[in-house]
Amino acid sequence: MALPTIATPTYRVTLPSNDKRIDFRPFLVKEEKLLLIALQSEDEQEIKDAIVQILENCVHTKGLDFSTMPIFDIEYLFLQLRTKSVGEIAEPGVRCTKCDHQFQIKIDVSKLKPKIKKDSTNRFFLDETGTLGITMKYPSLDSSIIIGDDDNYLGVLISSIDEIFTEEEVFKSSDHTYEEMEEFVESIQTSQLDKLLEFYREMPALEYKKKCTCPVCDNKFNIELRGLQDFFI
């Protein structure tokens, strides 16, 4: 006789980037095991693959490509999975700025959501005449490992270019090799590159700011958590 099937609830969440509604179920034991194994490995690619696999297992909505979805959508969606599966309270570790003591704090992660600036733009002109420009897209898991690496900002930036446009033509980055895009970016003036980097640095992300008090030395200091890696990884 076959064992009974355990019913799981279905939840709905709206993605921050485009207001698309996503239906999903909570983690099961197999997803929790998959994530724990990946975290224990401390391998960035393995962690990324585990997150994508868990989302593919748990999300019911069809036609989604989690590898190319903006990172902050991935973070928010994964956070919602976590709250419905494990609980709304996360306990990340923080380190005292004075005595270096590490301790845990409690955060209600159900209240966290990436903020998108209403006046933000993804189009940047590279010359004074306004005839040459770039359209940017938010970094995805394919273009940036979930554990960020500031030293690789140029590579992430190149992968975040969607189009290069002139008055007459539009050049899709997907139609060109990485080496061709790299050569183009390296020809940009430093002042113009700073504008592109600002778009990258200010992209939406899960953020949490709080003043903490060290339980050992009573030192008061401010913390800022940003992205999944600070909350769970």
Residue 70 and residue 144 share a domain: no
Residue 131 and residue 63 share a domain: no
Query: In the prediction, which pLDDT does 143 show?
Result: 66
Residue 109 and residue 50 share a domain: yes
Residue 215 and residue 180 share a domain: no
Q: Is 4 contained in some domain? A: no
Q: Is 60 contained in some domain? A: yes
Query: In the prediction, which pLDDT does 144 show?
Result: 55
145 is in which domain, residue-wise?
A: 123-201
pTM for the model: 0.79
Residue 105 and residue 213 share a domain: yes
User: Tens of pLDDT along the chain (233 residues)?
Assistant: 777 777 789 999 999 888 899 999 998 888 888 888 877 777 777 888 888 899 999 999 999 988 888 888 998 998 899 888 888 888 888 999 999 999 999 989 888 888 777 777 888 888 877 789 999 988 887 765 443 444 566 777 888 899 999 989 999 998 999 899 999 988 888 888 887 887 877 788 888 899 999 999 999 999 998 877 777 65
Residue 108 and residue 15 share a domain: yes
Query: In the prediction, which pLDDT does 152 show?
Result: 63
Residue 210 and residue 107 share a domain: yes
User: In a 10 Å sphere around its CB, with 0-12 CB exposed, 13-18 middle and 19+ buried, how is residue 40 labelled?
Assistant: exposed
Q: Is 118 contained in some domain? A: no
Number of structural domains found in the chain = 2
Residue 136 and residue 25 share a domain: no
Q: Is 6 contained in some domain? A: no
Kindly list the distances between the CA atom of residue 140 and the CA atoms of 68, 80, 161, 232, in Å, as whole numbers in the listed order.
5, 18, 11, 19
Q: Is 1 contained in some domain? A: no
